[in-house]
Structure 1
Amino acid sequence: MGDSVSVIVVAVLAIVLLLFLVLRVKMQEVLALLLVSIFVGIGVGMPPQEIYAAMEKGMGSTLGFLAVVIGLGAMFGEVLKVSGGAERLASTLFKKFGESKVNWSLGFVGMIVAVPIFFEVAIVIFAPLILSMARNSKKSILYFVLPLMAGIATTFSLIPPASGALAGATILGVDLGWHILLGAIVGIPAMIIGGPLFGSFIAKKMNVERAISEVAATVEAEVDSKREIPSFASVVWIILLPLFLMVAKTIAENVLAEDSMVRGILTLIGHPFGALTIVALLTIYLFGTKKGYSKLDIQQITTKALEPAGLIILITGAGSVFGEVLVSSGIGDIIANAVAGSSLPIIVFAYLTAALIRAAQGSGTVAIVTAASLILPIIKLQPVSEPMLALIIVAIGCGAIMTSHVNDSAFWMIKRYFGLTEIETLKSWTVATAIISIAGFILCLVISMFL
């Protein structure tokens, strides 16, 4: 395509252009990613047919798997939301643990609900509960907000089948059993440090006592109060079921013979397609049909769920297009050879790449997808074990959590829904994401010494 210097210059200019289009021009991320992908192809001298072939490959290779999984997860999450299951989860834990320990329970609630529910949707669902806790408590609202949001952010980026983590796993071909296991090992301590511990500390320094904003005071979860709300045990069971099935599949493939019937069954139901199909159907039946929802109600609920899912799918696909064009341009091989000839470990490069992209443009999903795409040719040159590959994508996820600030929609939602100022949100939520990111990466480095 061109010499190494010119390819690198084009790649750098492409990233600058992407940031300009998203941050200054406020162009929709999908369109910006597609335009910049074409720019890269033209800049390195790729023929038009090769540019579009690379774009098609990038979109198809990712979405062939991810679109199905995100769609199934979205339907599962919407039924859980409308039925009141998510609200039941949090309210029960508050009653069981009380005010003094509820921040810990909220962190784990966030980790659990992030599996089927998108980040922004989770904020809307839990805002009324958080506001109620704050009004009935002498503590700052940050004491309740940060643990919950930390849990959601951690699972979204580190533990599949949450959509952010799954996007990176799909690109690198990571075994999801290992990904879930290592994501939890890294994510739980990181969430505790950046959520309950930091939240307790900053709540004492910033006791936000002003009146809750009008938006926060009027927001309500979309729960049908006329119908019976699911039990706490049933909600926990249904959310954890896909994780158990996927981990069971990985264990079976490592300890059972290939001709084992049990292994065959677990492989069938433990694949993300199988696991999420089973869980979506069970959720629709247990939380929909059995609770009195009509067939038309369920159809409308599940159809509505696909609206936000479509945007996530397209952003992820467009990010993969950008990554694929970068790889086709030769930048992937250049970076791979540079890293192979340096003393910088792959896991460090992976983390720093994702962290810089996240801090610069705001989307955790784009950061994960782009970093994973750039890491892919390095992995091909330096093959690693399945556990190590899973740890690398976990490190990328840690980087994608770094510094949620003014270019991130979640930053503004947290500010708006919980009545904070910009400075208060920066001092609390932005710092919390940096703590989670760094703590998680340190844990990744420690674990890498044993793999």
Structure 2
Amino acid sequence: MTLAAWTQTLGAGPLLGIAAGAVALLLTLIIVLRVHAFLALILVSLLTALAARIPLGAIVNQVLVANFGNALGSVALLIGLGAILGRLIESSGGAKAAADLMVRIFGEKRAAFALGVTSLLLGFPIFFDAGLIIMLPIIFAVARRIGGQNLLLYGFSGIAAFSVMHVFLPPHPGPVAATEFFGANLGIVLLLGLVIAFPTWYISGYLWGRFVNKRFPMIVPAFFGTLDEDQPKHPAKAGTVIAVLLLPLVLIFLNTGLAALASVGIVDGDATWVQALTLIGTSPVALLVTVLVALVVLGTVRGEKGSALEKLVEGTFGPVASVILITGAGGMFGGVLRASGIGNALAGVLSDLGLPVILATYLIAVMLRVAQGSATVALVTTAGLMAPAVIGGGFSTLQTAAITLAAAAGSVCASHVNDSGFWLVGRLVGMDVKTTLKTWTVQQTIESLVAFALVLVVYLVF
């Protein structure tokens, strides 16, 4: 039997029990028994599929392999290209130069705040994972420049900023999809998202980063190399590095900007020049172009020979292989939970509770996120489920926008082991599973609660 022809017969109770047991088993294998996360994720994914009674003939190819591939479809390219770019910036001395410039301008005490604000601005046109990869070299360099075990202060200030922008601001796909389902005004959703973005980041990113940095002092991992003590004779200038980092952002902004213009009929989306610029502005292609430019301006122009650059590129793949594989396996685990029907069963139960629409929307998104991991799936499923109630509820334009962002707030809550982003952040920053749960999972929960509180005030007052 194929997966498309199969219907889940288990009820919500047994399915939720299977999900809880799977998460508990996974944490036991990784934290207690010290099984490598990649192996543990594959094993638990297989056992979960069997327990959920997914057809045996569909488990491997249609569930495990398919979801592993889907998780890696764009992430592997972004991580690989981003690692090369980061290594070029680090090895050229450019990361240290850019960090020195930032510290001179803002001072050591305000450097983490400045990194966060910069990431908020850059996160407007660029997706979370791509923005994270692009900014990490600078985040790591600033943390090294100031010294000490301050990784989480600078890391969370920047990473949380990209998360906030990706979750709440159009043109990112989640809020755009929810806007369409609820019939909300995209401009109002954008304006309200901008209003809540800064306080949400400040509390859940900057202040939380300061707190966890004291609880979990960490040094910068050697993801892009450790060359601060052995800088090249002719280091790249800070301006050159900044220009290189801005290049993918400009290209990606072309993509999102043209897509927005095409959606309202200002430009012809089928025109060849529009499609060409849109192609160049996709995240993988934009990063590829940036890496090729960086090889020239940070390598060849500084006198690096082709063989040396080839070895440098080759040397970046070892550290990122584990990140890529574990991220894919995390996507596999989340995909198994989605295929089992756990999310749909849970959503059906919650939708019948008779709660206020904005609260029900938020809680359904939270439960779907916790149950199956994907923020996008949680948001889109919630929007589809609650759309009739929202559209027929006679809400004002601002209230509808608040409900839309309440769904977005719920979809980001409590990132944990069934979320590929959990593994991506944890491995890139060099945290083990227990530390990632205590820091990143809590950060995402705070981000969710703060944003919901803000949109609830708007909903009740206006």
- For normalisation by structure 1, the TM-score amounts to 0.69
Partner SS for 1:228? coil
Q: Is the aligned partner of 1:63 residue 2:56?
A: no
Partner of 2:146: 130
Task: Return 428-437 or 13-22, whichever deviates more.
Answer: 428-437
* Correspondence for 1:275 among 282, 286, 289: 286
Q: Aligned residue for 1:22?
A: 30
Letter of the 2:83 partner, please give it.
A
Deviation at 1:91, TM superposition (A): 1.0
Q: CA deviation at 1:323?
A: 2.0
1:37-56 equivalences under 5 Å are 37-52=45-60, 53-56=62-65
After superposition, where does 1:355-370 map in structure 2 within 5 Å?
369-370=373-374
State the 1:242 CA deviation.
2.0
Deviation track 1:265-311 (CA, whole Å, cap 9, x = no partner) reads 32121111221111111122111221222212222222222233322
Pairing partner for 2:250 from 238, 244, 247: 244
Kindly indicate whether residue 98 of structure 2 is the aligned counterpart of residue 89 of structure 1.
yes
CA distance in 2, matches of 1:114, 1:353: 25
Task: Check conservation: 2:366, 2:413, Cα contact below 8 A.
Answer: yes
For 2:428 and 2:326, the matched residues in 1 are separated by 19
Residue 321 of structure 1: aligned partner:
332
Counterpart mapping for 1:425-440 below 5 A:
438-440=449-451
Residue-by-residue CA offset, 1:93-115 (whole Å, 9 max, x unaligned):
21123356445334446777963
Residues 204-257 of structure 1, C-alpha deviations (whole Å, 9 max, x = no match): xx8xxxxx99x89xxx93255233222222222322332332232122122222
Secondary structure of residue in 2 paired with 1:116: helix
Once residues 135 and 35 of structure 2 are traced to their aligned partners in structure 1, the CA distance between those partners, rounded to angstroms, is 22
Count of residue pairs the alignment pairs up: 399
User: Do structure 1's residue 225 and structure 2's residue 231 form an aligned pair?
Assistant: yes
Say if 2:177 and 2:380, in contact at 8 Å, map to a contact too. Answer: no
Distance in 1, Cα, partners of 2:28 & 2:278:
45
- Classify the secondary structure of the residue corresponding to 1:96: helix
Whole-Å separation in 2 of the counterparts to 1:150 and 1:202: 9
Q: Secondary structure at the match of 1:115?
A: helix
The answer to whether the 8 Å contact 1:249/1:270 transfers is: yes
Equivalent residue, structure 1, for 2:156: 150
Paired with 1:199 and 1:44, the residues of 2 have a C-alpha distance of 38
Alignment counterpart, residue 284 of structure 1, candidates 282, 295, 308: 295
* Cα distance in 2 for residues equivalent to 1:412 and 1:322: 21
Query: Cα offset for 1:13?
Result: 1.4
Residues 409 and 447 of structure 2 are in contact (CA less than 8 Å); yes or no, is this contact kept in structure 1? no
Query: What is the CA deviation profile of residues 186-218 of structure 1, one whole-angstrom value per residue up to 9, with x for unaligned ones?
Result: 655444345666778999xx8xxxxx99x89xx
Aligned partners of 2:37 and 2:332: how far apart in 1?
12
2: distance between equivalents of 1:82 and 1:443?
A: 43
| d(CA) in 1 for partners of 2:238, 2:328 | 36
Provide closer, same or farther for how the CA distance between residues 37 and 251 of structure 1 changes in structure 2, counting only shifts above 3 A: same
Counterpart in 2 of 1:75? Answer: 84
**Greater shift in the superposed pair: 316-325 or 434-443:** 434-443
Query: Could you tell me whether the CA contact under 8 Å between 1:29 and 1:315 is conserved in 2?
Result: yes
Distance change (3 Å), C-alpha of 1:35 and 1:414: closer
**In 2: Cα distance, 1:431 partner to 1:331 partner:** 23
Equivalent position of 1:362 in the other structure: none
Task: Find the aligned partners of 2:173 and 2:363 in 1 and give their Cα distance.
Answer: 18
Letter in 1 for 2:335: E
After TM superposition, the structure 1 = structure 2 runs for residues 109-120 of structure 1, keeping only pairs within 5 Å, are: 115-116=132-133
Unaligned runs of 5+ in 1: 135-140, 207-211, 358-366, 402-407, 416-421
- Partners in 1 of 2:319 and 2:193 — Cα distance? 25
C-alpha distance 379-40 of structure 1, shift in aligned 2 (>3 A): farther
CA contact 1:337–1:378 (8 Å) conserved in 2: no
Cα pair 1:398 1:441 within 8 Å, conserved:
no
Task: Indicate conservation of the 8 Å contact 2:413/2:444, yes or no.
Answer: no
d(CA) in 2 for partners of 1:3, 1:233: 59
- The whole-number CA distance in structure 2 between the counterparts of 1:252 and 1:412 is 34
Q: 1:108 to 1:307 in 2, by over 3 A?
A: farther
Distance 1:400 1:444 in 2: 21
Which residue does 2:349 correspond to in 1?
Answer: 338
State whether structure 2 residue 113 is matched by structure 1 residue 104: yes
- CA spacing shift, 1:11–1:432, aligned 2, 3 Å: closer
Structure 2 Cα separation of the partners of residues 228 and 184 of structure 1: 42
User: Is the partner of 1:225 in helix, strand or coil?
Assistant: coil
Q: In structure 1, what is the equivalent of residue 20 of structure 2?
A: 12
Equivalent position to 1:2, from 9, 12, 32? 9
Q: CA, structure 1 residues 106+267, in 2 after alignment: closer, same or farther (shift >3 Å)? A: closer
Note the residue ranges of structure 2 that are not aligned, 5 or more in a row.
1-7, 123-129, 180-186, 262-266, 392-400, 417-424
Q: How many angstroms apart in 1 are the aligned matches of 2:332 and 2:196?
A: 29
Cα gap change, 1:154/1:187 in structure 2, threshold over 3 Å: closer, same or farther? farther
Structure 1: distance between partners of 2:76 and 2:456 = 32
Query: 1:253 matched to which residue of 2?
Result: 259
CA distance, structure 1, for counterparts of residue 339 and residue 382 of structure 2: 14
Q: Which residue of 2 aligns with 1:361?
A: none
Alpha-carbon RMSD across the aligned residues, in angstroms, is: 5.0
Of 323, 333, 339, the residue aligned with 1:312 is: 323
What is the TM-score with the length of structure 2 in the denominator? 0.67
> Taking structure 1 as reference, are residues 448 and 239 closer, same or farther at Cα in structure 2, changes over 3 Å only?
farther
Contact 1:103 1:196 in 2 (8 A): yes
Structure 1 residues 108 and 182: alpha-carbon distance in aligned structure 2, compared to 1, 3 A threshold: same
* Residues 161-203 of structure 1: per-residue CA shift (max 9 Å, x gap): xxxx9xx979x9999xx99999987655444345666778999
Tell me the CA shift for residue 69 of structure 1.
Answer: 2.3
Q: Partner letter of residue 72 of structure 1?
A: L
Written as runs of structure 1 = structure 2, the 5 A alignment for 1:176-215 is 188-193=198-203
Whether contact under 8 Å (2:414, 2:442) holds in the other structure is: no
Distance 1:312 1:69 in 2: 12
Secondary structure in 2 matching 1:238:
helix
Partner SS, residue 234 of structure 2: coil
The more displaced of 192-201 and 145-154 is 192-201
